[in-house]
């Protein structure tokens, strides 16, 4: 195709075939009371040449019944996209889609009329709702490294929306920054956060060796931590797990966890109902 733009990938088609009236197997699989790691080396992997992707959960042609989702968190894809390549125009429906650039910039264009570059130091939130079409293309001469995150909405058929913003993750290190909250959460609305149509939030932070962060969840809440780079230990009431770059971990049955950072580290943290 002109400009090296790739058309809609089979992985999107495969996923949409699975997502029928919310009947994805394991889509709301309940966690047990523990910290359960998902190792980087165990993730699904595809390499299309222009796209090198790692899938934390089942996606496209990669299927693992044990890792369909965690609560409403459906997709964490770590994508490395070659310069001037990307996802040609394709459609989504009934999904909250978050793009977290790690390095480089992706050019976003959608059927709502938005067109912009979303770069490291920014975050993009798109509610697909009743239907939206978009394209995501690496516009520069360097590869783009990003996390693509999908969260299932509380209901189908909502109005599609798009938002993006600069975030202080790298400018203010040493703590988690809440970036995305629920559109039903008064605190998230008061803070002016970007919101999604689900009882979930997303935070991110960068930390130095020796930093510590306590995350309070509450007895009926769940967490997922995803390591972008570096390493840390996640410590709960009963046990702890060491995580390295690309690893993730499901957290259930813990009112709080302590994060102890061992290297220069960047993480994304989800709080889920």
pLDDT tens track for 145-172: 999 999 999 999 999 999 999 999 999 9
- What percent of the chain lies above the pLDDT cut of 70? 88
pLDDT digits (tens, 9 = 90+) for 75-95: 999 999 999 999 999 999 999
pLDDT at residue 170 in the model: 97
Mean pLDDT within 259-271? 98
Cβ density class 74-83: b for 16+ within 10 Å, e for less: bbbbbbbbbb
Which carries the bigger pLDDT value, residue 71 or residue 3?
A: 71
pLDDT at residue 198 in the model: 98
Which residues 6+ apart lie within 8 Å of 83 measured at CB? 138, 140, 141, 142, 143
Mean pLDDT within 185-201? 96
pLDDT at residue 1 in the model: 33
pLDDT at residue 29 in the model: 42
Mean pLDDT within 97-110? 96
pLDDT band (50, 70, 90) for residue 33: low
Q: Report the run of H or E that residue 25 belongs to, with start and end.
A: none
pTM for this prediction: 0.88
Residue 139 has pLDDT above 90, yes or no: no
Which neighbouring-strand residues pair with 118? 106
Residue 36 has pLDDT above 60, yes or no: yes
Q: What's the CA dihedral at 191, 195, 201, 203 to 10 degrees? A: -60
Q: Which token pair is 49?
A: 């040449």
Q: Report the run of H or E that residue 63 belongs to, with start and end.
A: none
Distance of alpha carbon 51 from alpha carbon 48, whole angstroms? 5
Q: What is the mean pLDDT of the chain?
A: 89
Distance of alpha carbon 184 from alpha carbon 220, whole angstroms? 18
């Amino acid at each position: 195709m002109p400009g090296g733009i790739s058309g809609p990938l089979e992985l999107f088609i495969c996923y949409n075939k699975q997502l029928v009236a919310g009947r994805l197997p394991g889509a709301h699989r309940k966690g047990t009371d523990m910290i359960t790691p998902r190792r980087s080396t165990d993730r699904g992997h595809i390499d299309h040449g222009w796209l090198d992707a790692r899938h934390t959960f089942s996606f496209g042609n990669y299927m693992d019944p044990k890792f369909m989702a965690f609560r409403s968190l459906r997709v964490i894809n770590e994508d490395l996209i070659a310069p001037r390549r990307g996802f040609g125009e394709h459609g989504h429906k009934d999904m909250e889609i978050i793009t977290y650039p790690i390095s480089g910039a992706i050019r976003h264009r959608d059927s709502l009329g938005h067109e912009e570059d979303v770069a490291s130091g920014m975050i993009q939130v798109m509610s697909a709702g009743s239907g939206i079409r978009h394209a995501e293309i690496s516009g520069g001469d360097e590869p783009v490294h990003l996390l693509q995150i999908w969260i299932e909405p509380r209901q189908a058929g909502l109005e599609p929306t798009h938002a993006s913003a600069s975030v202080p993750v790298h400018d203010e290190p040493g703590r988690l920054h809440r970036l995305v909250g629920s559109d039903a959460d008064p605190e998230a609305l008061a803070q002016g956060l970007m919101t999604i149509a689900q009882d979930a939030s997303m935070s991110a932070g960068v930390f130095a060796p020796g930093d510590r962060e306590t995350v309070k969840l509450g007895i009926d809440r769940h967490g997922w931590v995803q390591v972008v780079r570096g390493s840390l230990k996640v410590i709960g009431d009963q046990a702890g797990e060491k995580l390295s770059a690309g690893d993730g971990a499901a957290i259930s049955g813990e009112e709080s966890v302590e994060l102890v950072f061992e290297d220069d580290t960047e993480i994304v943290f989800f709080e889920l109902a």
